[in-house]
């Protein structure tokens, strides 16, 4: 444009410093960086990450001091001994039924609702130790704990000899052949206590144990009635026979009905089979008599605890008659 003396275009500014290289004659000269580091020594290499993970697994901490002696690893809590009951409803029901417990474990960040508040109140009433831990620690014990866990005392089993020695006369002992449902076990213990049985005998393997579920089903009867575990039920039946017990097995396919049994006033051992298979072959052969409970043809079978209760009621009724 006329009158504009400034030229158009980019204006190149002056650049500080030398415009050519130093020729390697000053302190910025090129220096060798040494050999290429190993892959495991490069921080962002996959091999370095694997090495770091392996060191952590072995308990090493590269470049850091070792943890204090005796300090528990973070995020882990000492797992309670014996069985545990987890979940707000399950813990509250167990405490209501006065299931023998060791301690109540509660997460620090737990949302205290009515169930948690009542559980804490019952735990204090029963004199239980209440342990407060981090959420991560309690989830390490049980991932579905809902922030609360009840540690149960291991059940103290009796022996068959103790049951026989403490039995009233005529004695009645209940033997379980492969009953696997703990709720059935608890219900049988409850009925056995109600009808005056001396105790319940069951096998150690392939059978239910006196867990928290069994305790709840027994409604406290497990604290009053002796329960024994034996390694061989057939041998225990032989021991009962030596003591003068008449061994009666319950089986839905037996020809003799319960009402036809004439030995109700004798010393008895009533043997109940599993929920699905019934009496095992060897145990059935050891029984002095096998009886059935008549039911409608449309019903396949009775629950193990129901059948046991009916048999005990009938025996108790016969013994009350003069």
> What number of CA atoms fall less than 13 Å from residue 32's CA on the CB side?
3
CATH of 84-152, one of 1.10.3720.10, 3.30.1330.30, 1.10.3210.10, 3.40.50.2300: 3.30.1330.30
Considering only residues 36 and 195, tell me which one the structure prediction assigns the higher pLDDT.
Answer: 195
User: Is residue 304 scored above 80 in pLDDT?
Assistant: yes
For the segment 175-192, the average pLDDT, to the nearest whole number, is 94
Between 107 and 220, name the one with better pLDDT: 107
Q: What is the pLDDT of residues 228-254, one digit of tens each?
A: 999 999 999 999 999 999 999 999 888
Q: Rounded to the nearest 5 degrees, what angle is found at the Cα of 40, between the Cα atoms of 34 and 44?
A: 90
Where along the chain do its domains lie?
84-152, 160-320
- The whole-number pLDDT of residue 72 equals 41
pLDDT, mean of residues 161-170: 92
- pLDDT score recorded for residue 60: 47
Radius of gyration for the chain, computed over Cα atoms and rounded to the nearest angstrom:
37
Q: What percent of the chain has pLDDT over 70?
A: 82
Q: Work out the burial of residue 123: count CB atoms within 10 Å of its CB; fewer than 13 is exposed, 13-18 middle, 19 or more buried.
A: buried
User: Maximum CA pair distance of the chain?
Assistant: 141
Alpha carbon 203 to its chain's center: 20
Mean pLDDT of 60-80: 48
- Region of poorest pLDDT, from 27-36, 45-54, 230-239, 253-262: 27-36
Residue 160, pLDDT score: 95
pTM, 2 dp: 0.67
Least confident of 66-70, 110-114, 131-135, 177-181: 66-70
**What pLDDT is stored for residue 11 in this prediction?**
56
Residue 39 has pLDDT above 90, yes or no: no
Q: CB burial class (10 A; 0-12, 13-18, 19+) of residue 156?
A: exposed
Which run of H or of E encompasses 149? strand 148-152
Distances (CA, A) of 81 to 105, 107, 213, 231: 13, 18, 17, 24
How is residue 55 written in tokens? 């060191």
Mean pLDDT across 115-139: 92
Closest CA to 223 of 145, 158, 132, 298: 158
CA–CA separation, 146 and 89 (whole Å) = 10
Q: What is the pLDDT of residues 259-301, one digit of tens each?
A: 999 999 999 999 999 877 889 999 999 999 999 999 887 887 8
Average of per-residue pLDDT across 53-77: 52
Cβ contact 248:269 at 8 Å = yes
Q: Which residue has the higher pLDDT, 136 or 47?
A: 136
CB 133 within 8 A of CB 108: yes
Task: Render pLDDT for 210-225 as a digit per residue (tens, 0 to 9).
Answer: 888 888 888 888 888 9
Residue 23 has pLDDT above 70, yes or no: no
CA distance 228 to 82: 18
Res. 36 pLDDT band, cuts 50 70 90: confident
At residue 93, the pLDDT reads 84
Between residues 104 and 10, the one the model is more confident about: 104
Say what the pLDDT of residue 46 is.
Answer: 80
pLDDT at res. 61: 46
- Determine how β-strand 289-292 pairs with β-strand 246-250: parallel
Residue 34 CA to residue 40 CA, distance in Å, equals: 17
Cα dihedral 187/151/116/111 (nearest 10): -140
Angle in degrees, 0-180, between the axes of helices 114-125 and 88-96, rounded to the nearest 10: 30
Cβ neighbours of 210 (radius 10 Å): 23
Which CATH code, of 3.40.1280.10, 1.20.1090.10, 3.40.605.10, 3.10.580.10, is assigned to 160-320? 3.40.1280.10
Per-residue pLDDT, 69: 39
283 contact partners, CB below 8 Å, separation of at least 6: 177, 233, 234, 237, 249, 271, 273
Q: Exposed, middle or buried: residue 224 (CB in 10 Å: 0-12, 13-18, 19+)?
A: exposed
97 Cβ partners below 8 Å, 6+ apart? 215, 216, 219, 220
Rounded mean pLDDT of the chain?
84
Copy the structure tokens of residue 114: 């009515």
């Amino acid at each position: 444009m006329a009158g504009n003396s400034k030229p158009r275009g980019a204006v190149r500014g002056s650049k500080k410093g030398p415009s050519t290289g130093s020729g390697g004659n000053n302190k910025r000269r090129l220096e060798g960086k040494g050999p290429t580091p190993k892959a495991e020594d490069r921080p962002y290499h996959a091999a370095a990450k694997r090495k770091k993970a392996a060191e952590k697994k072995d308990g090493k901490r590269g470049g850091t001091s070792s943890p204090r002696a005796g300090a528990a690893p973070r995020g882990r809590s000492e797992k309670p001994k014996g069985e545990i009951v987890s979940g707000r409803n399950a813990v509250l029901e167990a405490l209501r039924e006065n299931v023998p417990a060791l301690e109540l474990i509660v997460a620090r960040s737990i949302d205290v609702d009515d169930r948690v508040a009542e559980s804490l109140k019952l735990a204090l009433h029963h004199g239980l130790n209440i342990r407060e831990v981090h959420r991560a620690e309690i989830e390490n014990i049980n991932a579905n704990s809902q922030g609360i866990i009840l540690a149960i005392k291991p059940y103290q089993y009796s022996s068959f000899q103790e049951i026989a020695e403490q039995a009233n006369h005529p004695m009645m002992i209940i033997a379980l052949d492969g009953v696997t449902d703990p709720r059935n076990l608890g219900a049988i213990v409850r009925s056995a206590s109600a009808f005056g049985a001396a105790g319940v005998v069951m096998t150690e393997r392939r059978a239910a144990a006196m867990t928290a579920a069994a305790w709840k089903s027994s409604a406290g009867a497990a604290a009053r009635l002796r329960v024994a575990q034996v390694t061989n039920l057939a041998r225990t039946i032989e021991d009962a026979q030596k003591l003068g017990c008449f061994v009666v097995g319950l089986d839905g396919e037996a020809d003799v009905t319960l009402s036809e049994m004439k030995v109700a006033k004798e010393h008895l051992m009533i043997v109940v089979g599993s929920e699905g298979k019934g009496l095992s072959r060897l145990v059935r052969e050891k029984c002095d008599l096998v009886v059935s409970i008549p039911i409608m043809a449309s019903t396949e079978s009775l629950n193990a605890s129901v059948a046991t209760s009916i048999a005990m009621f009938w025996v108790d009724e016969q013994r009350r008659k003069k």
